[in-house]
Amino acid sequence: MLALLIEGLSGQCTTEDLLAMDPTSISKHFDFDKLLPQGRLNGFENMIRLIQTQTKAALQRLYLEDESTNTNNSAESEHNSIVMDNRKDEVAVLLSGGVDSSVALKLLLLQGLKVRAYYLKIWLEDEIAHLNQCPWEEDLQYAERVCSQLGVPLETLSLQREYWDQVVQYTLREAKEGRTPNPDIMCNSRIKFGTFYEFVGRYHSRIATGHYAQVVTTSEGVRLVQSPDRHKDQSYFLSALTQQQLQRCVFPIGHLNKPQVRQLAEQFDLPTKIRKDSQGICFLGKLKFDDFIAHYLGTQAGPILCYSTGRELGQHRGLWFHTIGQRKGLGLLLKQCVHDGPWYVAAKNMQNNTLYVTNDINVITQPRLSFSVSAVNWIGGEPVELSNIPYSVDLLVKLRHGPSLVPAVVTKLPSGGDSSMYNVRLQNKDKGIAPGQFAAFYSLRKIHPDGIDVMK
């Protein structure tokens, strides 16, 4: 399509001009606004925007890859190197089009910092657009309006391929194996502070986002600290970041609560001041997770058995739609015995495709006082207590996004391999622990003036 447009506009504008051209102007140039009904015209113009965005991102990616390996000292390569080097005094701000990142951008400007905004395109609209409306275009428009108002340069970078490889495939693989994935945690560590840093972020002084979290520098390195807004705190989603990644992070709104951020957006009169908060997984938008899973993994019907009696109660659509402790949605599958509920998912047998449910809450809470974890990312290094007898330490544990922190004893287990295993014994029972789930550890030691717990 892009080649046809270039051919059609041959001699009238350059490729760069075409990539910067308003899609409405392109449709008018070819009289598509007269030939196509409004719905088809909107679809055509959206397709042009997508082509422009992906082409610019591909050209930028090719340049960055070439720049990192090319030792050519031609005048052109020297010029490009100077352009990228000039960004070392800039803070790269990841702008989502929401109120949080918009306020973060404005606060950095008020500090007198030089900034450059980036919109990361990771939506999978090419694959799943037919399932729901993908709001990336609206997000980008808000980001453009914010940057235009604040006089900040904005660049769009498409990381769809990298997101698919590093986050989506992980999500599908974990779901298919019966585990509970967390794509938001992987997005932060592998994409926003991973791939983006490798492609662009390394040319900037630091990377800023609108996360509700704080970074505190100590004599032992940097620490990830909770936001004072416990309900909005996103330190759990940042728990997979390494010490090296955190050293480059800036969270300008991390010390604020949500009402304060909303108030600042009104005070600054930002275009995003009236936007609602986004919900759900970062690449799905309004799309339901079950619809996404069904699109890629399909359905695989199997029996639903009572955990205590073994009696068949119904049929499920696929084990990957259910998590341990789940209650929501089971009533529709257990119509004949729904009155005996509430029912909870008690177990899953992946070998024979069987879902076990129970109406006894004690069945799913009793065995959930302890669990084991591996591949632990100790941001500030493993606690010294775990290297000395009895190889255990008192910490706080967060098992999901939210304000709840549970006291626990973490014990290092004997291991013959390179990866250490740890047993976590909770002070209070938890009904929702499932294989594949992330556990974030917080120290009991207070180093922040607000007395906020420090991330481990």
What positions carry a catalytic annotation?
Answer: 187, 282
How many angstroms separate the CA atoms of 237 and 253, rounded? 16
* Bridge partners of residue 373, in order along the sequence: 422
Instruction: Give kind and range of the element (H or E) at residue 248.
Output: none
CB 282 within 8 A of CB 256: no
Token pair in block for residue 385: 């207590």
**Structure token digits, residue 106:** 């404005």
Element (H, E) at 157: strand 154-158
Classified as helix, coil or strand, 155 is: strand
DSSP state of 138: H
Distance CA 332, CA 326 (A): 13
SS3 annotation, 19-53: HHCCHHHHHHHCCHHHHCCHHHHHHHHHHHHHHHH
CB atoms within 10 A of CB 115: 22
Displacement of CA 275 from its chain's centroid (Å): 19
